[in-house]
Amino acid sequence: MNVGVLALQGAVAEHIRSIESCGAKGTIVKRTEQLDELDGLIIPGGESTTIGKLMRTYGFIEAVKAFSEQGKPIFGTCAGLIVLAERIVGEPAAHLGLLDVTVARNAFGRQRESFEIDLEMKDWNRPVRAVFIRAPLIESAGPDVDVLASYKDGIVAVRQGHLLGASFHPELTDDNSMHAYFIEMIRQYSA
C-alpha cells in the first residue's frame, strides 16, 4: 500500500514516519503525476492559504479532485482539513471543496495557545493523542459527515466516506492510531 503526503508545506517527514510505522509505504508527493501511484493521500498542516496557492500553482487542485472522484481516500490534518473543506468562515471560496464541513481558521488561538490532549474518539477503544497548533474548528458538518471527535462542544475530527479530516496534528505524537485508521480506510476502499 502506497500512501502519499502532499509535500508543498507542513510536517511531511512526520506523516511519512507515522505511515511507515503502520507498515505502509510513505511517499513524498511533489508532482501531480505521482498521484497515479497512490492508494491514499494525506494533506498535512501548515498554512492553508499558502498550501492552496501552491496547489493552484502546481496543478494539484484539479488533480486531487480527480483523485477523490476515483474514491481514493484523502486525510487532511489541521491546514489540510481547511484545504479539504467546502466552506471556510470569512473566505469567499474554498480550496478543494470536497468535505461537507464549515471550518473556522485558527479557532483555538495563536501559537502560544497550542496544547496537547488525549481525545476521545467515537467507537474507538482508547483515546487518541492530539496536538492542536493554531488549529481550525469544524463549526458545522453536513448530514453525510460522521463526527468522530469533539472538544469543548466543537467538532475536531470527521469522516465522510473516503474523506477524513482532523483539526489536530496526529503526526506530532508517537500515537499512530489515526494513521492506522486512515490505512484501514484505504484497505476498505481498495477492496
Catalytic positions, please? 78, 169, 171
Torsion-angle region of 138 (φ positive above 0: left; ψ -120 to 50: alpha; else: beta): beta
Strands 128-132 and 115-119: antiparallel
Q: What does DSSP assign to residue 92?
A: S
Report how far residue 80's alpha carbon sits from residue 185's, in angstroms, rounded to the nearest whole number: 18
At 180 the three-state DSSP class reads helix
Residues paired with 157 in a beta bridge: 149, 166
Q: What does DSSP assign to residue 70?
A: T
Strand runs labelled E in 52-114? 74-77, 85-88, 99-104
First to last CA, the chain: 12
